């Protein structure tokens, strides 16, 4: 018992001595994910501002992103179980000759070493080009006259539940890519330069996938709701039927989107001695498409 206690205390002392390094290693991805989420969120809004190199907002945004992922992973696993269970039982009730043929087909597929490598590169490449990068093409959405119709109507304006399931689909696709990468890494690759290049390309594409996940999160999940304010300091009273939203709060300025007289304007005022009166929260991308925010045709 004494030996176990000494081993336990020794492990704690070792971890305590390295705690600073572990904390820095764990904080860096949070800052990175938070920065990507906020940077592209502002890029989508059309806010022209410089982000500081270090800001606690990045840490909070990164933590929010990881919490959102943790909330959806059990749901994705449950959905996979619901989908895979009928397939498993269908396989179990197959005739013996059909199961044998299916196993031989899988064995032939596994005997071709380049096929998993090529498939592992094509899957993340298609996800990046067709799905993950679509939101990166959006910019200046709060001031644009005619935003891209298909992606806006089918995803961005589809509602909170549809956006959450869309993001869950992105997470599932990235998870499948990781599973293929793990399988390829565990199977000895064929010797040669081609297999090395394919493996390196797969690792790079999977990394790009995971860098684009917080970008999509910042636009689809975090960036859809903005606080509506009743009045803006140092500005004349809003016109009848006009609306204003607080878009961004930096250390020195407050940036507002003002919709009045059938026009949209982005204004920034000094934060010093400013008072913000929030009256509610709105789905901003849906709100700017309604009068008085509709742009003149």
DSSP codes of every residue in 194-212: HHHHHHHHHHHHHHHHHHH
Residue 266: strand, helix, or coil? strand
Q: What pLDDT, in 10s, does the model give residues 253-280?
A: 888 888 877 778 888 888 776 777 888 8
pLDDT at 208: 92
What average pLDDT does this structure show over 233-239? 68
Q: How far apart are the first and last CA of the chain?
A: 81
- Per DSSP (E only), the strands in 103-261 are 225-229, 243-249, 253-260
Nearest-angstrom CA–CA distance, 42 and 222 = 11
Q: What pLDDT, in 10s, does the model give residues 129-182?
A: 888 888 777 778 888 766 555 565 666 666 667 777 777 888 888 888 888 888
**Phi/psi-derived region of residue 28, left when phi > 0, alpha when psi is between -120 and 50, beta in every other case:** alpha
pLDDT at 20: 55
What average pLDDT does this structure show over 58-68? 86
Q: Write out the H or E segment, with its range, that includes residue 183.
A: helix 160-186
Instruction: Mark 58-78 as b/e (b = at least 16 C-beta within 10 Å).
Output: bbebbebbbebbeebeeeeee
Check: CB of residue 233 under 8 Å from CB of residue 204: no
pLDDT at 8: 45
Check: CB of residue 288 under 8 Å from CB of residue 295: no
When the pLDDT of each residue in the chain is averaged and rounded to a whole number, the result is 76
Lowest mean pLDDT among 23-27, 43-47, 57-61, 260-264: 23-27
Q: What percentage of the chain has pLDDT greater than the value 90?
A: 3
pLDDT at 173: 87
pLDDT at 244: 85
Is 156 exposed, middle or buried, given 0-12, 13-18 or 19+ CB atoms closer than 10 A?
buried
Check: CB of residue 128 under 8 Å from CB of residue 208: yes
DSSP codes of every residue in 23-37: HHHHHHHHHHHHHHH
Q: Which residues contact 99 (CB under 8 A, 6 or more apart)?
A: 91
pLDDT at 137: 77
pLDDT at 228: 87
Q: Is the pLDDT of residue 37 over 50?
A: yes
């Amino acid at each position: 018992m004494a030996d176990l206690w000494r081993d336990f205390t020794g492990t704690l002392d070792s971890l305590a001595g390295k705690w600073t390094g572990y904390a820095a290693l764990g904080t860096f991805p949070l800052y990175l994910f938070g920065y990507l989420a906020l940077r592209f969120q502002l890029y989508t809004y059309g806010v022209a501002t410089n982000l500081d190199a270090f800001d606690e907002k990045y840490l909070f945004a990164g933590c929010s992103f990881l919490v959102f992922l943790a909330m959806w992973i059990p749901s994705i696993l449950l959905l996979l179980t619901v989908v895979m269970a009928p397939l498993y039982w269908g396989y179990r009730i197959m005739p013996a000759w059909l199961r044998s043929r299916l196993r031989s087909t899988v064995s032939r597929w596994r005997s071709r070493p380049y096929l998993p490598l090529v498939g592992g590169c094509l899957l993340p490449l298609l996800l990046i080009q067709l799905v993950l990068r679509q939101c990166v093409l959006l910019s200046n959405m709060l001031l644009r006259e005619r935003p891209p119709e298909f992606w806006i109507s089918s995803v961005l304006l589809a509602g909170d539940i549809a956006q959450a399931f869309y993001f869950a689909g992105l997470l599932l696709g990235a998870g499948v890519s990781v599973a293929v990468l793990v399988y390829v890494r565990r199977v000895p690759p064929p010797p040669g330069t081609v297999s090395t290049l394919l493996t390196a390309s797969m690792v790079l594409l999977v990394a790009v996938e995971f860098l684009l996940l917080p970008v999509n999160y910042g636009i689809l999940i975090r960036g859809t709701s903005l606080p509506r304010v009743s009045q803006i300091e140092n500005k004349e009273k809003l016109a009848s039927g006009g609306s204003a939203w607080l878009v961004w709060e930096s250390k020195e300025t407050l940036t507002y989107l003002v919709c009045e007289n059938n026009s949209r304007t982005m204004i920034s005022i000094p934060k010093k001695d400013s008072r913000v009166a929030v009256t509610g929260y709105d789905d901003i991308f849906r709100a700017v498409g309604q009068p008085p925010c509709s742009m003149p045709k």
